[in-house]
Amino acid sequence: MASDTPDAAALRRGCTRLATSASLELLPGATAQIPELARLLPAGARIFVPHLPGRPIGDAVPTLVALRQAGFEPVAHVAARRLASRSEYRSFLEAARTAGLREMLALGGDLDPPAGPFREAADLLEGDMIRDAGIGVVHFGAYPDPHPRIPAEILARAMQRKLDLAARQGIATGIVTQFSFAAENVATLARGVQAGSQIRLGIAGPCGIATLLRFARLCGVANSLRAAAHLGVGALQLTGGADPTASLMALVAALGASEADGSRHALHVYAFGGAPKAAAWLASIAANREAH
């Protein structure tokens, strides 16, 4: 990174702290990668396990168990619209309780029409099932860039409903942002999040340009990627090619190095190029050296 002028030193500290506290994603069934993650990441790091389209949520349980046994804090994605029934959700929560799961990420999901009775993430918090399962923290997704289908005012009302339902049950909350290539948008969202919720700032991990373009289209962030491309081919390669360090530095600069150095913010890496590659990049930043 840059030389240690006062501003550059603060930028380095912010990047290092965010990398040290970062979470990332591991696909269900990828348990063979866990020993490598344990070598690269600090004990207790959060590893999110996605709820994949077309797959029952119970498929994630063995991976969640293996992560807990390896010393990580597993976090299960639960996509409301992908759940076929209340019994599927109840069975998952019972298995999660047995596995010692303490955190989950409640998402709406993109299936239309829904596979079962749940239409949005807030529906997952109705009743006492989450609390009774021993889950003490529920994370929610947020969008720095405009959502491709849902107006901002509807998203804001849905977020408030989720926060209210969690508060009534004494459940702590966190926010995980969608990845974006507009650092100012991420910083603006982070500053507007309700006090008390930790904010995990989404960033695309190391991957090739073709992979990045595919996920940008799938996740509805192609507009911010096109804006990054206007900076020139070199900027685009730094933003989404082999090394996302430039994106991290831009995020810390937009947030403000002092805010990035605080405990309220953390990093969440979307491991499009694979969890081990993302973990190796995080380890290099946490060690204050360039990734190669």
Residues counted in the chain: 292
pLDDT of residue 8: 80
Strand 46-49 versus strand 265-270 pairing type: unpaired
- CATH number belonging to domain 6-286: 3.20.20.220
Q: Give the closest residue to 165 by CA, choosing from 130, 200, 134.
A: 130
Question: Which residue would you say has higher pLDDT here, 159 or 179?
Answer: 159
The tokens 């709820």 sit on which residue?
51
Lowest average pLDDT, out of 24-38, 139-153, 198-212, goes to 198-212
- Beta bridge partners of residue 201, listed in sequence order: 267
pLDDT at 258: 62
pLDDT category at 113 given cuts 50, 70, 90 is: very high
Tell me the C-alpha distance between 209 and 237, whole Å. Answer: 7
Residue 238 has pLDDT above 50, yes or no: no
Residue 235's pLDDT band (cuts 50, 70, 90): very low
Q: In this structure, what are the phi and psi dihedrals at residue 271, rounded to the nearest 5 degrees?
A: -85, 65
Q: Tokens standing for 189?
A: 């969202």
Q: Determine how many CB atoms are found less than 10 A away from the CB of residue 291.
A: 16
Domain boundaries, the chain: 6-286
For the ranges 29-38, 180-189, 277-286, which has the lowest average pLDDT?
180-189
Q: Give me the amino acid identity at 221.
A: V
Output the six-digit token pair for 2.
């840059």
The stretches of the chain forming alpha helices (DSSP H) are 6-20, 34-40, 61-69, 86-99, 129-132, 152-168, 183-192, 209-219, 222-229, 233-240, 245-255, 257-260, 275-286
d(CA 78, CA 95): 13
Going from the C-alpha of 94 to that of each of 28, 87, 130, 135, the distances in angstroms are 18, 10, 10, 11
Give the pLDDT score at 39. 97
Rounded CA separation 135/95 (Å):
12
The per-residue pLDDT for 44 is 96
Q: Is the pLDDT of residue 228 over 80?
A: no
